[in-house]
C-alpha cells in the first residue's frame, strides 16, 4: 500500500480520506450509482492529518407588474441571482462518516488551495475530526453521489461538494454542503416540491416562488456554515432533476426571475392545498414580520371568505368552486376519542410550548377560541391542571403520533370542531371537519394547478397569492451569460 506524506498540521486532529478506485454499490435508485467492481488499482490511503481532510418571457396579460428600472446598488441577493455567487446548500450535518463518488473527473482543494486532480472511480471517505475544509469540484456536467455512514443518500448533485468539521457546544460532526448556482438549485427544488405531472404554468410559478424564497432566506443557516438546508425546513432539494423533465423546463424558462415587494425578494411561502381560502402570514411562527403580501385570499372563482361558525361549517360541507378542489385533500374529516386527545396532549403539549416537563393532566375541553378569517387562530385547551392556548399553525403539532413529528393528523387550521358527549355531558369524541393540507400561507400548489388549467399564466398565479408584488428579471450581459452558464 502506497502512503503519501503530506504536511502535518496538528496530530490531535485525525481524519482519514480513503481514495479507492472503486464503483459504489447499489442504492434506492440503482441508476444513481455504478455497480460494485473489483479494484482497478491498489488502494491509496492518506493517513496524515493534513487531509483528515433563451429566457422565455412570462405572459404579459397578467396583473402582476414588471419593474422597468433597477437600483444602482447591487445587493447580495442580486449577486446570487445574476450567477456571480453560488448557493451553499447544507445536505447533512453532525455525521461521523460520509463518502463521495463522482461520475467524472474532479479537483480537490484544501482551504481553497488546489491539492490535486481526481479521477472517475475514486471513492472518497471522510471520517473523524478535521481542521481544514475540503472542496471537491466536479467537471462541468458531472454529478456526485453520496453515502452517509455507509448508507445511500438520495440524489445526484452537480457542482462542488464541501466537507468540514463542526465542533463546539452544539451538534458536532461532519457537515456536507453542495455549492450550486441558483438556477441548478431551483430546478432541483421544483422537481421535489411540486408533482411533475402539473401544468407547465403551475411549475413555472413554483420555480419563481422557489427562487424568490431562497433569496429571501440567505442567512437562515448562517450559524451552520451554509445558506439553506436541503430539507423541509427550507425547501426540499435532492440535486439534479431529470434533464429532460418538466421541472427543468420550468426552471429554465423562468431563469433569473423572482417576485419582489418594495425592492426585496418576497418570502414566498407555499403549501399543498388551501381548501378554498389561504391564511395570513401570522399563522406561521417563523413569520415574525408583518408582510402585506402574506394575506389570506379567497382561492375560488366567486364568493367570499366565510366568517362565523355556521358559514364556515357550510363552506366546509360543500365542494365549492375553489381552484384547489381538484386536490385529494380539499375536504377531509378526522375524529379522535377523548382518550386519544388525552394521549396527544400529554405527549405533545409540553414540547409544542417549549416546556417538556409540563404535565397538564386530563383534558376537560377543547375548543376554537378565536378565528382569523375562516381559520382557527387560537385553540383553547382546558386541562385538569391548567388552561392553555395555541396559536396559528402550531396547534397542528399537538396531533401527531410519537416518533412522527412532522406528520400531523390535523391537516390544516381550516376546520370546524364538533364535540360528542355522553349522558353526563363529558366529551367522548372530537370531530374535526376541515379543508386543505399544510400551513395555508402563500401559494396553494393545487390551487396553482387549478388556475393553470383554467388558463392562468405563472404571473397570474403569483399575483393572486402574493398581491402587490412585482416581477423582477435580473439582466446580465452576454459576457456574463457565457461566464455563468
Is there a contact between 192 and 208 (Cβ–Cβ < 8 Å)? Answer: no
Is there a contact between 95 and 173 (Cβ–Cβ < 8 Å)? Answer: yes
The pLDDT value recorded for residue 120 is 85
The pLDDT value recorded for residue 406 is 56
DSSP-derived pairing of the beta strands 375-383 and 363-372? antiparallel
Find the mean pLDDT for residues 196-211.
Answer: 97
The pLDDT value recorded for residue 405 is 57
Is there a contact between 200 and 250 (Cβ–Cβ < 8 Å)? Answer: yes
For 441, the 3-state DSSP assignment is strand
The pLDDT value recorded for residue 109 is 96
DSSP-derived pairing of the beta strands 87-95 and 228-229? parallel
Taking alpha carbons only, the member of 414, 466, 461 closest to residue 437 is 414
- pLDDT interval class at 321 (50, 70, 90): confident
Q: Which residue has the higher pLDDT, 27 or 366?
A: 366
Phi, psi of 382 (to 5 degrees): -100, 115
Find the mean pLDDT for residues 39-67.
Answer: 34
Scanning the structure block, which residue is given the C-alpha cell 381548501? 275
- What does the block give as the cell for 239? 440535486
User: What is the pLDDT of the chain when averaged over all its residues?
Assistant: 82
DSSP state of 66: B
- pLDDT interval class at 166 (50, 70, 90): confident
Is there a contact between 299 and 397 (Cβ–Cβ < 8 Å)? Answer: no
- pLDDT interval class at 31 (50, 70, 90): very low
Scored b (16 or more CB within 10 A) or e, 10-45 reads eeebebbbbbbbbbbeebeeeebbbeeeeeeeeeee
- pLDDT interval class at 449 (50, 70, 90): very high
Q: What is the C-alpha to C-alpha distance for residues 462 and 58, in angstroms, rounded to an integer?
A: 11
Domain residue ranges in the chain: 2-53+80-180, 332-434
How many alpha carbons fall within 13 Å on the CB side of residue 58?
34
The pTM is what?
Answer: 0.81
For 75, the 3-state DSSP assignment is coil
Scanning the structure block, which residue is given the C-alpha cell 361549517? 313
Taking alpha carbons only, the member of 228, 256, 476, 431 closest to residue 332 is 431
Q: How many helices (H) and strands (E) in the chain?
A: 9, 25
Residues contacting residue 154 through CB under 8 Å, at least 6 positions apart: 28, 29, 238
For 353, the 3-state DSSP assignment is helix
Taking alpha carbons only, the member of 113, 244, 91 closest to residue 159 is 91
- pLDDT interval class at 477 (50, 70, 90): low
Residues contacting residue 335 through CB under 8 Å, at least 6 positions apart: 429, 430, 431, 432
Taking alpha carbons only, the member of 107, 111, 128 closest to residue 49 is 128
DSSP states along 246-295: HHHHHHHHTTTEEEEETTEE----EESB-TTB-B-GGGSTT--S--TT--
**pLDDT, tens only, 220-262:** 999 899 999 999 999 999 999 877 889 899 999 999 999 999 9
Find the mean pLDDT for residues 113-133.
Answer: 89
Q: Please determine, for residue 121, whether its predicted confidence score (pLDDT) is greater than 50.
A: yes
Q: Please determine, for residue 57, whether its predicted confidence score (pLDDT) is greater than 60.
A: no
Q: Tell whether the torsion through CA atoms of 388, 394, 399 and 400 is positive or negative.
A: negative
**pLDDT, tens only, 377-436:** 999 999 999 999 999 889 999 998 766 655 678 999 999 999 999 999 899 999 999 999
- Kindly provide the residue ranges of all beta strands, DSSP E only, lying in 216-256, ordered along the sequence: 228-229
Q: What is the C-alpha to C-alpha distance for residues 383 and 358, in angstroms, rounded to an integer?
A: 12
Amino acid at each position: 500500500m502506497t502512503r503519501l506524506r503530506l504536511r502535518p498540521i496538528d496530530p490531535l486532529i485525525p481524519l482519514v480520506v480513503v481514495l479507492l478506485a472503486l464503483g459504489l454499490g447499489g442504492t434506492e435508485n440503482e441508476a444513481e450509482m455504478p455497480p460494485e467492481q473489483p479494484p482497478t488499482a491498489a488502494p491509496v490511503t492518506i493517513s496524515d492529518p493534513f487531509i483528515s481532510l433563451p429566457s422565455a418571457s412570462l405572459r404579459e396579460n397578467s396583473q402582476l407588474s414588471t419593474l422597468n428600472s433597477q437600483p444602482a446598488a447591487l445587493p447580495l441577493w442580486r449577486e446570487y441571482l445574476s450567477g456571480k455567487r453560488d448557493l451553499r446548500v447544507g445536505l447533512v450535518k453532525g455525521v461521523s462518516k460520509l463518502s463521495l463518488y463522482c461520475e467524472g473527473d474532479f479537483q480537490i482543494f484544501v482551504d481553497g488551495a488546489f491539492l490535486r486532480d481526481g479521477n472517475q472511480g475514486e471513492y472518497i471517505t471522510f471520517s473523524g475530526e478535521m481542521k481544514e475544509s475540503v472542496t471537491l469540484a466536479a467537471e462541468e456536467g458531472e454529478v456526485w453521489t453520496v453515502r452517509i455512514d455507509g448508507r445511500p443518500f438520495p440524489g445526484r448533485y452537480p457542482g462542488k461538494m464541501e466537507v468540514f468539521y463542526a465542533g463546539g457546544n452544539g451538534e458536532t460532526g461532519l457537515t456536507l454542503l453542495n455549492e450550486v448556482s441558483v438556477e441548478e438549485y431551483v430546478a432541483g427544488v421544483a422537481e421535489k416540491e411540486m408533482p411533475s405531472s402539473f401544468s407547465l404554468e403551475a411549475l413555472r410559478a413554483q420555480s419563481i416562488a422557489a427562487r424568490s424564497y431562497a433569496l429571501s432566506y440567505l442567512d437562515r443557516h448562517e450559524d451552520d456554515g451554509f445558506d439553506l438546508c436541503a430539507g423541509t425546513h427550507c425547501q426540499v432539494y435532492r440535486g439534479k432533476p431529470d434533464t429532460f423533465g418538466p421541472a427543468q423546463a420550468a426552471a429554465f424558462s423562468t431563469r433569473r426571475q423572482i417576485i419582489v415587494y418594495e425592492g426585496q425578494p418576497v418570502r414566498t411561502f407555499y403549501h399543498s392545498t388551501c381548501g378554498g381560502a389561504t391564511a395570513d402570514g401570522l399563522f406561521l411562527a417563523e413569520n415574525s414580520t408583518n408582510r402585506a403580501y402574506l394575506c389570506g385570499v379567497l382561492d375560488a372563482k366567486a364568493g367570499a371568505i366565510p366568517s362565523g361558525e355556521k358559514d364556515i361549517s357550510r363552506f366546509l360541507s360543500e365542494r365549492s368552486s375553489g381552484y384547489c378542489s381538484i386536490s385529494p385533500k380539499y375536504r377531509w374529516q378526522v375524529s379522535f376519542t377523548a382518550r386519544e386527545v388525552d394521549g396527544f396532549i400529554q405527549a405533545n403539549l409540553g414540547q409544542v410550548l417549549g416546556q417538556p416537563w409540563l404535565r397538564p393532566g386530563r383534558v376537560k375541553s377543547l375548543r376554537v377560541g378565536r378565528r382569523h378569517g375562516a381559520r382557527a387562530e387560537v385553540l383553547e385547551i382546558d386541562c385538569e391542571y391548567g388552561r392553555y392556548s395555541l396559536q396559528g399553525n402550531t396547534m397542528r403539532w399537538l396531533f401527531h403520533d410519537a416518533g412522527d413529528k412532522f406528520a400531523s393528523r390535523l391537516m390544516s387550521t381550516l376546520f370546524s370542531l364538533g364535540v360528542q358527549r355522553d349522558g353526563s355531558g363529558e366529551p367522548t369524541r372530537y370531530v374535526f371537519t376541515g379543508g386543505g393540507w399544510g400551513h395555508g400561507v402563500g401559494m396553494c400548489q393545487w390551487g396553482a394547478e387549478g388556475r393553470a388549467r383554467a388558463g392562468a399564466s405563472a404571473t397570474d398565479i403569483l399575483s393572486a397569492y402574493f398581491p402587490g408584488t412585482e416581477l423582477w428579471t435580473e439582466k446580465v450581459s452576454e459576457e456574463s451569460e457565457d461566464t455563468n452558464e
